[in-house]
């Protein structure tokens, strides 16, 4: 099987050229036109390697691409996204470049390298019959328009393989579930100097609620509940009549996610005359280790057969579309994409030497899954 690594090494110059094509087509999630342009580029690169054009799936103006390969039912879902967090114009300050074995550029690590890897892995299969490749365009926003598409494609598959970048080379066996909330507080305005006692201070009510919410976390179970952005009041000399703040909650298991959700929706005002409105809830279910362990063991065996270094595993707090595939009961392995670092940061980068070996591993893993009864 070492010949597979050698094949991908031979294909590396082409992979780097294709990666430059993808990275230099900027695709911030919030810019629908940019995402549509990126989808055209991704479709062109992918079609050239796979020999077939994707289906364009446009939901709420966001462009997703789906390749259903072969005539049989889908057994393996390969999942990625082509949107990034980088605004148009970022190439001026973060140009695509390769120097000393390190590739840089906006979205290169998260996760356009993973897309190129997926195309080459699928093109190298004896037959891709039974594979669906889904490339979404809104993952960085929480996948609001693609969630149902992802869940539908994953349902009934024997595995979902997520081409998100690795964590320092480690595959991601656990991802916390993510819940998002907005807490809105209504008070009553009054003059802060003349009649403060006639008001109901929404800022003070917000302070009470923030302290109560911050106590909902449980470090022993890996549960974090974090109040984030806060807005309150109108002028310096007016008792605030309204306030609002956001809450980011993350949990390793469904029971904890549900506990926090129930507690947040059960909050009551502390100040007489104040009222609360709690909006939001779970956005992504947890990706629990039990959904990944068998696939990791399979990938580890294949890595050994390919002569690669032993695979490492990690649990992370960030969510991905792998949370959705696991949430519908499909075994899921995440972090199969680029090795590097700096996602969403100025030092975003990919280690070029790892691209070919990891693509060979992906190829072997897909083939092994397709060959399984």
**Residues taking part in catalysis:** 83, 139
**Contact (CB, 8 A) for 150 and 83:** no
The residue to which tokens 């190129």 are assigned: 116
- Asked whether 76 and 132 are in contact (CB, 8 A), the reply is yes
CA torsion angle 339 132 150 32 (round to 10): 80
Looking only at the bridges linking them, the beta strands covering 76-81 and 131-136 are parallel
Q: How far apart are CA 251 and CA 268, in angstroms?
A: 23
What the block records as the tokens of 340 is: 């590097």
Q: How far apart are CA 281 and CA 271, in angstroms?
A: 25
Question: Do residues 80 and 162 lie in contact, with contact meaning Cβ atoms separated by under 8 Å?
Answer: yes
Q: Burial code of 224-239, b = ≥16 C-beta within 10 A, e = fewer? A: bbebeeeebbeeeeeb
């Amino acid at each position: 099987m070492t010949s597979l690594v050698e094949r991908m090494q031979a294909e590396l110059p082409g992979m780097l050229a294709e990666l430059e094509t993808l990275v230099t087509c900027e695709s911030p999630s919030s810019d629908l036109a940019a995402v549509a342009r990126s989808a055209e580029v991704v479709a062109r690169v992918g079609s050239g390697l796979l020999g077939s054009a994707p289906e364009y799936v446009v939901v709420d103006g966001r462009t997703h691409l789906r390749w259903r390969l072969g005539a049989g039912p889908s057994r393996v879902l390969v999942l990625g996204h082509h949107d990034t967090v980088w605004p148009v114009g970022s190439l001026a300050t973060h140009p695509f470049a390769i120097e000393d074995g390190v590739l840089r550029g906006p979205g290169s690590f998260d996760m356009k390298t993973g897309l190129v890897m997926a195309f080459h892995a699928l093109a190298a299969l004896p037959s891709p019959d039974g594979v669906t490749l889904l490339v979404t365009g809104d993952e960085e926003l929480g996948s609001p328009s693609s969630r149902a598409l992802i869940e539908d494609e994953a349902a009934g598959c024997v595995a979902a393989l997520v081409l998100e970048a690795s964590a320092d080379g480690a595959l991601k066996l656990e991802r916390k579930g993510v819940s998002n909330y907005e807490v809105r507080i209504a008070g009553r305005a009054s003059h802060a100097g003349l009649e403060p006692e006639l008001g109901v201070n929404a800022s003070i009510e917000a302070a009470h609620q923030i302290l109560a919410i911050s106590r909902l976390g449980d470090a022993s179970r890996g549960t974090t509940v974090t109040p984030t952005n806060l807005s309150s009041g109108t002028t310096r000399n007016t008792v605030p009549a309204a306030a609002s703040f956001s809450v980011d909650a993350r949990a390793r298991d469904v029971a904890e996610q549900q506990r926090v959700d129930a507690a947040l929706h059960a909050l009551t005002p502390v100040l007489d005359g104040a009222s609360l409105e709690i909006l939001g809830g779970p956005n992504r279910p947890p990706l629990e280790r039990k959904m990944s362990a068998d696939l990791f063991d399979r990938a580890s065996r294949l890595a050994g057969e390919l002569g690669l270094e032993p695979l490492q595993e990690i649990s992370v707090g960030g969510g991905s579309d792998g949370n959705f595939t696991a949430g519908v009961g499909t075994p899921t392995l995440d972090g199969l994409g680029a090795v590097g670092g700096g996602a969403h940061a100025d030092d975003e980068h990919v280690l070029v030497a790892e691209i070919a070996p990891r693509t060979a591993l992906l190829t072997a893993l897909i083939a092994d899954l397709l060959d399984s009864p």
